[in-house]
Structure 1
Amino acid sequence: MDKEMQPLLSVRNLAKRFAVKKDFWGRAKEYNYALNGVSFDIFPGETLGLVGESGCGKTTAGRTIMGLYRPTAGQVFLHGKELDVANGPDKRIQMIFQDPYACLNPRMTVGEIIAEPMEINGVYKEAGAKKQRVYDLLDMVGLSKEQANRFPHEFSGGQRQRIGIARALAVNPDVIICDEPISALDVSIQAQVVNLMSRLQKELGLTYLFIAHDLAMVKYISHRVAVMYKGSIMELAKAEDLYNNPMHPYTKTLLAAIPVPDPDVRADIALIKGEVSQNVGTGCPFAGRCPSASDRCWAEKPKTKVINGHIIACHLYV
């Protein structure tokens, strides 16, 4: 992105912990940090991909930024002004959810589902304008206005996700958080939905945080990609640079897991060892599984630095 351009969304040192053990009185005794000092920027019209293995904190990051979770620490800025995410969602940030059926009220028609955010946020108050907005949104996502009176169970998975996209667009948001929006869909339908999102981004100037674990799809849709492990950002770079020249050991091993026709292509990359649950205390969260870990990695958490255009947290690079 243009270095002179100001970030649309900025996340600074975001942390979120959950109680994993409580005493007799219900007070928390032990915590698990799903997010541990996450920071990144998203620029206008950009798609930032957020990838990592299951349980790394990707979805928690999206939900905390949106205000569905109360953050333990950290700040979220939109247009340079801090959001009060502790007090709930801001209409300028909307979400496309993973399950296109569970997130739609089965007792409401598609028209009512898409109109609901407008009613909650007080936009398009006039009934005729609201109905026309619903019809326009259905047309944008490849559905017809005649389908507005149908219920979610009458649609396929791909069509339901299109409805979810239309609902997210209903109040003209500044940022859309896409929480693994294609993982529940058939492979053939995934490409259609991603192409729809790309087209809408170009036409409407949308800004996405695209959360996924499908690295190939993330590369296809994202301008930049952030790699997360155990609640921390390990590496962030332009999509092409990250895939062609990964620098962090975790990024390398993550990309090495992608199937390729020639197995010798990545034969020199050491595989991840150990278990995700290993605790490294104050050190690097990846130290317990890193093939290149040193004593320093166990004792000290690496600070973020910029090397060759990559934002990276690793002691291997000085």
Structure 2
Amino acid sequence: MNDFYPEITPFQEFLLDVGDDHQIYVEQCGNPQGQAVLFIHGGPGGGCSQNDRRFFDPQKYHIILFDQRGCGRSKPHGSLNKNETQYLVSDIEKIRTKLEIENWHVFGGSWGSTLSLVYAQTHPDKVSSLVLRGIYLARPEDTNWTFSGGGATRLFPDYWQAYLDALPQSQTDPSIKASYAVMIGEDKEAAMKVAKAWAQWEIHCCTLIPDEAFVADKTDDESCWSLARHEAHYMVNDCFLIENQILDNCDKIAHIPTVIVHGRYDVVCPFDNAWQLHKKLPLSELKASENAGHASVEPATKHHLIAATQKMLTL
């Protein structure tokens, strides 16, 4: 069973001014002469962690990580201004240009898979390969499954009730739009309460086996604030994509070697997302983590992801 590579520290960290009053955090790790790989984190609003560096052999990879607009170590924290999918795609290109990288492998999970796919479809000549985990296709049915009383709420009604109990008593509508209004409203105490409940609901659903340490690590106040508000911001705007944009544009990336890793029991992003993407990419390889949910750190998923990054080196 593949496990994480040893812990490493960046050989460079910097803030990149991308305009619109945003500075995004960028770090470089591993071998600067190695094959370039970009890690794209989830959320939106999640930010990178130290373990995200450890999916890649540091002797063979030039590993680039960044925190998307308004989250993680990027500034200003929590900003939703000019925070849309196409701005993030533009930011990725600015990183590539800044680092003078001709093309790179791209690795993304959950929302990171969404952004990886949109980036690759926009700049297919810059992507050497794709490793995608926990596919989120950003369609209304994908959002509704988790956050609008869809199937996830039937599997975890207790966790969902905890979220509903955190909504203001005046909020009889549990919709994403209504919760978003609270989270961007003037009552900061109510906004934080809803943001924490939103994040705890989602993170509780991420692992097949309940993992309170994992939940605690992902739901401190700062993480909840950016994760919940960013996700709601994107979801009420259909992730700033046109209808079925990702699947309808798969022909643009059909030539890119792609490995799709997805937990069989993923409640946040159901397995059929991965299946539908796989059918649109005839050269893709789909690896089902048969005893895992949504999280990248679950052993089976971690195993398949590291196997995929090892395979990327031979392309």
Same fold at TM > 0.5 = no
Q: Larger C-alpha radius of gyration, 1 or 2?
A: 1
Taking structure 2 as the reference length, the TM-score comes to: 0.28
> Which one has a larger percent strand, Structure 1 or Structure 2?
1
Taking structure 1 as the reference length, the TM-score comes to: 0.28
> Which one has a larger percent helix, Structure 1 or Structure 2?
2
